[in-house]
Structure 1
């Protein structure tokens, strides 16, 4: 596995691969890799000739400086995991390589970013779209792989690909969970022992909501039940819980629309760690 640290190195390598007719898979990450990331790398290796994994903690998508400072950074451990998973090249750039000058371009994804993560983390998706656009231009992948745990991010990147006519296929894989249901996340490393024991309650609450959707109960009653269940865990500070259309991400307030999947999404704080999770429920 090659390790690349400059944009020029990455561009030269991908141009060579393209001239040789090789199909390129890209897995963008912020590192501190877990099984969810490795699933994406293995899928990319199975579906393409070569795989690039980027590890870059992107400062422009953090609206909390302390969260950026504390985000886990484990480049050596990440590299050790990537090679056996089928990664061909690890792109490990510095901030200066990704942002040689301040970016003045601003993305606006309309209603998609006015809700949930966008509403609670102003500027977050502008940072995501900026860095992902840069990676797409530098790596020129045929396919790019993302995890469904970041549902809103995947939806916005899908819009980015469509609006800017990126010549690639966006591939999303389901959330990978720990044995107790907690969605795998790099931030889980920062949970205290006590908070880690409580964290599976997030998925339990989503499962409750999913069952209520299947029973045909109203969005308002689902919100009340999920919020009440999470309020019973003192360590969990719910930031939001949303019952939304899985495609548009807009809040569902009245009756279900048959054939339209529902996304149950939440964000919560356990100590100083912020976690997100979601489940998708099909409505008959």
Structure 2
């Protein structure tokens, strides 16, 4: 179903599919034509981070599909589902503007231009035929949980989050049937958990080797990790939004110098406390509250011991979350050999 069949949708040169059945008709043609399909899952409010994933897909696939779906199952009852930014007209403009020229497969001296091929824009009822509520205790229907890997890091602060993510992404993979799919490093625990999900559920579209984790897109001016939630920041809050990344960089330097985990975390906390003191001395009202800074094994997310130090080049996830007023910011750095994870 294209946008022309749904007058309430913004005009778009990209086909928009609002049902699984209509999308699958399109997907069958791609199968028949032996074309690869790259997939980028989003909740909309697109920014350069999302677009970098789209461009990666354009470079590596014949066709590229993007989904926009604000998933109720990954928001706890007290979280910002109702106010999460929804910017479909602007999203379509940004998506339509993405293009990439590559050498023609059968004629290297000429080029072809790839653009996004389709947008999957399902309703809540399409994605949750049995209905959905944010209260996990009264939910009915089928849900997916990756046991033992979702209670650390982000899962410790958001205990129902990864159940909601695993459920909706399994549904999206079943609907889209991507050859390759792309997730950002900013949500590193989510991306690694989904790669494990592909392996544990024996998925073929994608298989775990074709779930790609792309380095975090950052503001070129100050290094802030791009996020749809950055739009919530006040003018003064934005000035201090890089505090978490600066804290993680300080911990990274300490780790590289051979300090223990406890000492690295202390270095990060010190950066945050220094910034909080500057807020006060500048007479500002920005409220910064640290949720966590932690170092976790990249394989199973288990917390490193307080006295652990660098162990060769094994990848370790240094991550954190910081509230800046009412906006919760997350970020991470991969210590050790990031190439074992990213790519």
Which bracket does the TM-score occupy, shorter chain normalised?
over 0.9
| Matching residue of 2:292 | 240
| Matching residue of 2:127 | 98
Alignment partners' CA distance in 1, 2:23 and 2:235: 40
**2:246 maps to which of 184, 194, 204:** 204
Alignment partners' CA distance in 2, 1:9 and 1:101: 20
TM-score (norm 1): 0.96
CA-to-aligned-CA distance 1:131-152 (integer Å, 9 cap, x gap): 1011111111100110010000
User: Are 1:87 and 2:116 an aligned pair?
Assistant: yes
Alignment partners' CA distance in 1, 2:154 and 2:37: 30
| Matching residue of 1:154 | 191
Instruction: Classify 1:257/1:34 alpha carbon distance in 2 versus 1 (closer, same or farther; 3 Å).
Output: same
Task: Identify which range, 225-234 or 184-193, moves more after superposition.
Answer: 225-234
CA-to-aligned-CA distance 1:46-73 (integer Å, 9 cap, x gap): 1111111001110100114441112111
Q: Which of the two has greater helix per residue? A: 1
**1:264 maps to which of 318, 323, 327:** 318
Structure 2 SS opposite 1:176: coil
| Conservation of the 8 A alpha-carbon contact between 1:111 and 1:250 | no
| Matching residue of 1:69 | 82
**1:12 maps to which of 2, 25, 31:** 25
CA-to-aligned-CA distance 1:194-238 (integer Å, 9 cap, x gap): 111100111111110111111010001111121122133333211
TM-score (norm 2): 0.80
Structure 2 SS opposite 1:70: coil
| Conservation of the 8 A alpha-carbon contact between 2:145 and 2:166 | no
| Conservation of the 8 A alpha-carbon contact between 2:130 and 2:141 | no
What count of residue pairs does the alignment treat as equivalent?
283
Structure 2 SS opposite 1:114: coil
**1:28 maps to which of 41, 49, 52:** 41
Alignment partners' CA distance in 1, 2:162 and 2:297: 19
| Matching residue of 1:115 | 152
Alignment partners' CA distance in 2, 1:71 and 1:256: 39
Q: Which aligned runs of 4 or more in structure 1 are off by greater than 4 angstroms?
A: none
Structure 1 SS opposite 2:82: helix
| Conservation of the 8 A alpha-carbon contact between 1:34 and 1:186 | yes
* Cα RMSD, aligned residues only: 1.4
Structure 2 SS opposite 1:144: strand
Query: By how many angstroms is 1:108 displaced?
Result: 3.4
Alignment partners' CA distance in 2, 1:232 and 1:110: 38
User: Are 1:173 and 2:238 an aligned pair?
Assistant: no
Q: Which has the larger radius of gyration?
A: 2
Alignment partners' CA distance in 2, 1:140 and 1:107: 18
| Conservation of the 8 A alpha-carbon contact between 2:293 and 2:318 | yes
Structure 1 SS opposite 2:171: helix
**Gaps (5+ residues) in structure 2?**
1-13, 99-114, 132-139, 277-286, 338-343
**Gaps (5+ residues) in structure 1?**
none
CA-to-aligned-CA distance 1:140-171 (integer Å, 9 cap, x gap): 11001100100000011011100111112101
Query: By how many angstroms is 1:174 displaced?
Result: 0.2
**1:226 maps to which of 264, 268, 284:** 268
| Matching residue of 1:195 | 237
